[in-house]
Homo-oligomer: A and B are copies of this chain.
Amino acid sequence: MRIGVIGAGNMGTAMGTIWAAKGHQILFSFTNGSMRLQKALAAAGVNGRSGTPAEAVAFGEVVLLAVPWAAVGEALKAAGLLKSKVLFSCVNCLKPDFSGLAVGTTTSAAEEIARAAPDARVVEALPPMAEVLAAAHHRLAGQQISTFYCGDDAEAKAIVAGMLRDLDLEPIDAGPLTSARYIEPNGMLQVQLAYRMGLGSRIGIKLLRG
């Protein structure tokens, strides 16, 4: 396949290099570091070339958009018309300092609950589906399910982490209560997979490390 890469940064060059090794043809464009681009071109060998974003669009059956959120406008402008092209976006709208998302998340149930109960020490954790907890064992395919928790009170968080362990879940500290803005959509994603995408309720998330 011919793949046009717009955004030859860490992510775009890493993905493009692997695809080139798999035999795909890659055109890298829109880099902010010519050293990185040269390294990717060397790694891609005969399957790699470079050009402009417009050339990436003309070249690719698929266009990978792999730019920082702040550069999306400029990148799409340079790309020009995308006429039914498959645009594979791996752009997340991270704020430049990685402190949160620039669009889309404004609050969370946990923050609203903390506002409604200002005298409580709120900790949020979203365990797996009730069906998984109601079963005799709470592991899936033998593996322990990870459960993210967040809050602004260290002692309260430690108590909740212990309660999660008592459910045979692996507690993962996700930071302050505002992290509920990420944990709740993650829970919703699992609801979507279970009920809308047909995977059923015996699913869960595991955080891999290695």
Contact = CB atoms under 8 A, between A and B. Distances in A.
B133 A11 contact: yes
Interface string A66-103: 00010011001001011111111111111000101101
A208 B145 contact: yes
A187 B10 contact: no
B91 A109 contact: yes
Contacts of A125: 88-90
Nearest to A92: B187
A109 B82 CA distance: 17
Contact of A188 (B91, B100, B122, B127): B100
Residue of A86, A116, A142, A191 most packed against chain B (CB within 10 A): A86
B121 A167 contact: no
Top 5 A-B pairs, shortest CB-CB distance? A140-B210, A82-B120, A10-B130, A141-B210, A182-B189
Contacts of A134: 10, 14, 17
A65 B113 contact: yes
Q: Which interface residue of A126, A156, A193 has the most chain B CB atoms within 10 A?
A: A193
Q: Which of A112, A131, A141 has the most CB of B within 10 A?
A: A112
Contacts of A174: 189, 192-193, 197
A208 B206 contact: yes
B86 A113 contact: no
Contact of A87 (B69, B117, B173, B204): B117
B104 A107 contact: yes
A203 B208 contact: yes
A202 interface: yes
A101 B185 contact: yes
Contacts of A206: 143, 205-208
A94 B191 contact: yes
